Structure 1
Amino acid sequence: MNTTISMESLEKFEKNFDANRANAMAMNAVAANGVNASAKNYETERKTTFDFSISLEQGKITNQKKSGRCWMFAALNCLRFQVIKKLNLETFELSQNYTLFYDKLEKSNYFLESILKTLDEPTDGRLIAHLLSMPLNDGGQWDMLTAIVSKYGLVPKGAMPETFSSSATGEMVSYMTEKLREYACILRKAHKEGKTDAELRAMKDEMMQTVYNMLCICLGKPPKTFDFEYRDKDKNFHRDLNLTPQAFYEKYIGLNLDAYISIINAPTEDKPYYRSYSVEYLGNVLEGRQVKYVNLPIEELKKAAIAQMQDGEPVWFGSDVGQRSCREGIMDLDIYGVDGLFGTTFGMNKAERLEYSQSLMTHAMVFQGVNLDEDGKPNRWRVENSWGEDAGKDGYYVMSDRWFDEYTYQIVVNKKYLPKEALEAYDSEPIMLKPWDPMGSLA
């Protein structure tokens, strides 16, 4: 039984490689251009069109820059749609820095509370290792954004503009992560020394003051009130003075966020369809809305998304954007001919990719349209990204329907677009998934 790579094996590998002339051509192409550029499928690129039978009008494309706030940008892009439509604006942005501030503040509190909840867990155990791995991740979920909005409201971008640290979060997150891990160490040591729960929580309150200070220094202080001034498409000027963030949301957006729920497609054996799920130790606002989904067949996700867009409203979604997609704005299973390039096939299905860590939700965007064929079936989807106008076609991507099947994992829709069976499942007591379950990934 061969357990090592012998010299004879190496000679055989080389001989077999050289026997196929295509290998030398592939090697030369990849050496000069890289894998994806060498495997780019010209036919797929040529036949992709950016026209759609249903296409919603949105403002200028947004840009999350060097931050992992896609879930936040996508959600705020859905909500700004209401403002643009209601006020007859050319374009408009909500402050992503405002929601970032409170997300980081709440995540810090959530992390420290999780540490206090797990004081007797071993440091080298999987749970503590997981909690310590990314205590202040930029990523998030739709339910986490709604928790922020419900508690703190929203403000226009002008009321709390971007800063260096909001547009490039790496430095801030690095130092705050270091501080939170230090605080975890301090709290756990204090527990071992016999400190009471009251004493530990008093320590935590002092820690949160430092967290707040760091956020203010990096992001600025969030406004308590502000003046809202704007000019509409007809060049009429408007002014609304001394608004609170909560009052702004109610007056200019007004959506009942409780009516919008997450539906997922996770076709693995451990997650039966028409059941609700949540994830242990996943959230930001401790007292806020629980992260919760109902798992449905992929066709149900499509039906609900189409119905909501037919009624003129965009759809938040999460997917694995790094799979079979290109910067030119095409998300298609055939965009790269890597099977032919490497002389092999990549044959895992969606469930297997989830189970074997090959795929999970990595990025959130917005459906702003879909193309329905003569039979009313979708064949491509219009995607609003948050990577600026230079990505895709003026910031928009095209997703093939087959790509939707394989790499789209979550959408958020109004409950009214879902069948009774799905709503009853969502309202049931959720099955709690482990913190490291792939469906607990943050976009």
Structure 2
Amino acid sequence: MIDFPRTDSHRLDDQRLATLRARFLADSRNRTVQNALARQDVDEVAVDHEVLLSLRSEVSVHLDDWKVTNQYESGRCWLFAILNLLRADARGRLGVKDFEFSQTHAMYWDKLERANLLLDEIVATADQPLDGRLMSHLLAGPLEDGGQWDMAVSVLLRHGAVPKQLMPETYASSHSKHMNARLHQRLRRAALDLREVADDPQEVSIRREQALSDIHTILTVHLGTPPERVDWEWRDDRGDFHRVSEQPQEFLARACWLPLEEYVCLVDDPRPEHPKGALLTVEHLGNVVGGRPVRYLNVSSARMKKLAVQALKRGEPVWFGCDVAQQELRAEGRWAANLLDYEDVYQVPLTLTKEERVRTGESQMTHAMLLTGVDLTDDETPLRWRVENSWGPGRGEEGFFVMADSWFDEYVFEVAVRRSDLDETERGIVDADAEVITLPAWDPMGALA
């Protein structure tokens, strides 16, 4: 740390405050903007209407003909996005256009599995200082709602899926704040208890199992008891009656034939020390003991877009993760890299590159959704993308958003694609486990959507 001499030269004294005030008032434009912002949100002043008008909803490749889902006041977007991907296949196989998998079921098992893994992590890191960076990170929000693609796959492969009717929404699944607070309290209590007896394996086992039992109780009273079997009857859209009685894993295999275990998560990490073509992972990131490791193949944004277009043209939506709140008009359901000109409003420099945003904490993956369409030029260049969100039908066009291709480059960080769509070199990298670059637990690439 640089030790600057302590002086009074930078105090906000009366003279400096008077200078700042005079400088502000000297530009009449500042008063005009001040008056405008006194009565409306800054986005209404900053929006470039020409850009907004260019974000038309019609696209040349358009898959969705279904209704959007709603995660309400929870952070389950990553689970909603993957279950929406699966239902795009299941609705045809089950013959039910508006079919939904239970998002509460996936949420329940993610949190119980994640608590189980975290208890192991607490024991394994007992030699780390409790107020150190690693433990502060692990205990900051140990059972928050967010997650990553590979974590969702781990839950689904382990626990399957059930129709929404068999484990519907509860208040806590849709409004998870208070449930999560109690889960966090119990896990932090467990961290102290387990570290206290870390040298006694028998006592560790006793306290670990009690903590897991308590977490199970909290989850079950809030979310309900997951069904052990899918005993379900339905009438398809043609009027034919069906009945099944099987395990959740069997039901998922019946309802959806997408090979989840073969998907690869691609990222655009813009930092040059993580070269394109590198396989990345993040320490302590995961949710299932013995589950699928979280790994990313670092590629360019252009490569991600090419593979996303390929999947869409084949008729498959694409799971993706992004920094959702940047350059966004939420009510209209529109994103573009130059949609909101804040620099013009304030007359101050605000622009950062994608790399600079990642390095400074300005940008990381905060939300996951589905690409369900793309508008292509004659030479296959994307102009804009159609997006299925999970915020209900009240925003955008009945819940569907439009993303300019420029926004994809700047704010999309991840897409999940089939391994078979990768080229030979990329498949070789994915299979070369020994060459993985391991990032620290707090790295931005480990952000949870």
Normalised TM-score (structure 1): 0.96
Q: Determine if the alignment matches structure 1 residue 229 to structure 2 residue 233.
A: yes
Matches within 5 A, 1:161-172: 161-172=168-179
Matches within 5 A, 1:56-205: 56-191=63-198, 194=199, 196-205=200-209
- Partner secondary structure for residue 59 of structure 1: coil
Q: Aligned to 2:248, which of 234, 245, 250?
A: 245
User: How far apart in 2 are the matches of 1:310 and 1:255?
Assistant: 16
User: How far apart in 2 are the matches of 1:293 and 1:320?
Assistant: 17
Q: Which amino acid aligns with 1:48?
A: L
Cα deviation for residue 208 of structure 1 reads: 1.0
User: How far apart in 1 are the matches of 2:356 and 2:374?
Assistant: 28
Q: Determine if the alignment matches structure 1 residue 432 to structure 2 residue 438.
A: yes
Q: Determine if the alignment matches structure 1 residue 287 to structure 2 residue 290.
A: yes
Cα deviation for residue 268 of structure 1 reads: 0.4
User: How far apart in 2 are the matches of 1:94 and 1:325?
Assistant: 29
User: How far apart in 1 are the matches of 2:443 and 2:205?
Assistant: 30
Equivalence for 1:349: 353
Once the two structures are overlaid, the 10-residue window that deviates more, 166-175 or 29-38, is: 29-38
Equivalence for 2:3: none
User: How far apart in 1 are the matches of 2:105 and 2:204?
Assistant: 30
Matches within 5 A, 1:30-45: 30-45=37-52
Equivalence for 1:262: 265
Q: Which amino acid aligns with 1:410?
A: E
- Partner secondary structure for residue 33 of structure 1: coil
Once the two structures are overlaid, the 10-residue window that deviates more, 334-343 or 398-407, is: 334-343
Q: Aligned to 1:374, which of 368, 371, 378?
A: 378
Cα deviation for residue 3 of structure 1 reads: 2.7
Cα deviation for residue 393 of structure 1 reads: 1.1
Equivalence for 1:217: 221
Contact 1:319 1:408 in 2 (8 A): yes
The alignment covers a number of residue pairs equal to 439
Equivalence for 1:271: 274
Q: Which amino acid aligns with 2:447?
A: S
Q: Aligned to 2:312, which of 306, 309, 312?
A: 309
Cα deviation for residue 250 of structure 1 reads: 1.2
Equivalence for 1:407: 411
User: How far apart in 2 are the matches of 1:92 and 1:153?
Assistant: 16
1:122-168 Cα deviation digits (max 9, x unpaired): 11211111111111010001101110111111101011111111111
Contact 2:55 2:403 in 1 (8 A): no
- Partner secondary structure for residue 261 of structure 1: strand
Cα deviation for residue 58 of structure 1 reads: 4.2
Q: Aligned to 2:32, which of 7, 17, 25?
A: 25
- Partner secondary structure for residue 26 of structure 1: helix
Q: Which amino acid aligns with 1:284?
A: N
Q: Which amino acid aligns with 1:49?
A: R
Cα deviation for residue 306 of structure 1 reads: 0.3
Contact 2:55 2:384 in 1 (8 A): no
- Partner secondary structure for residue 397 of structure 2: coil
- CA root-mean-square deviation: 1.3
User: How far apart in 2 are the matches of 1:216 and 1:440?
Assistant: 28
Contact 1:58 1:81 in 2 (8 A): no
1:38-91 Cα deviation digits (max 9, x unpaired): 222222222320000000024211000010000000000000111112233221
Contact 2:115 2:143 in 1 (8 A): yes
Q: Which amino acid aligns with 2:120?
A: E
Q: Which amino acid aligns with 2:258?
A: L
Cα deviation for residue 321 of structure 1 reads: 0.4
1:246-271 Cα deviation digits (max 9, x unpaired): 11011111322121110000110221
List gaps (5 residues or longer) in structure 2. 1-6
User: How far apart in 2 are the matches of 1:292 and 1:95?
Assistant: 26
Cα deviation for residue 232 of structure 1 reads: 2.6
Contact 2:365 2:413 in 1 (8 A): yes
1:381-428 Cα deviation digits (max 9, x unpaired): 000000000011110111101100000000001112222222222222
User: How far apart in 2 are the matches of 1:270 and 1:202?
Assistant: 44
Q: Determine if the alignment matches structure 1 residue 394 to structure 2 residue 398.
A: yes
Contact 1:98 1:154 in 2 (8 A): yes
Contact 1:296 1:422 in 2 (8 A): no
Equivalence for 1:442: 448
User: How far apart in 2 are the matches of 1:58 and 1:197?
Assistant: 55
- Partner secondary structure for residue 198 of structure 1: helix
- Partner secondary structure for residue 119 of structure 2: helix
Q: Which amino acid aligns with 1:282?
A: L
User: How far apart in 2 are the matches of 1:68 and 1:370?
Assistant: 26
User: How far apart in 2 are the matches of 1:95 and 1:87?
Assistant: 15
Q: Which amino acid aligns with 2:440?
A: K
- Partner secondary structure for residue 32 of structure 1: coil
Q: Determine if the alignment matches structure 1 residue 53 to structure 2 residue 56.
A: no
Task: State the identity as a percent.
Answer: 37
User: How far apart in 2 are the matches of 1:157 and 1:89?
Assistant: 13
1:294-314 Cα deviation digits (max 9, x unpaired): 000111100100001110000
User: How far apart in 2 are the matches of 1:109 and 1:336?
Assistant: 44
User: How far apart in 2 are the matches of 1:113 and 1:183?
Assistant: 11
Q: Determine if the alignment matches structure 1 residue 335 to structure 2 residue 343.
A: no
User: How far apart in 2 are the matches of 1:286 and 1:374?
Assistant: 48
Contact 1:70 1:386 in 2 (8 A): yes
Contact 1:165 1:219 in 2 (8 A): yes
Cα deviation for residue 240 of structure 1 reads: 1.9
Q: Which amino acid aligns with 1:96?
A: Q
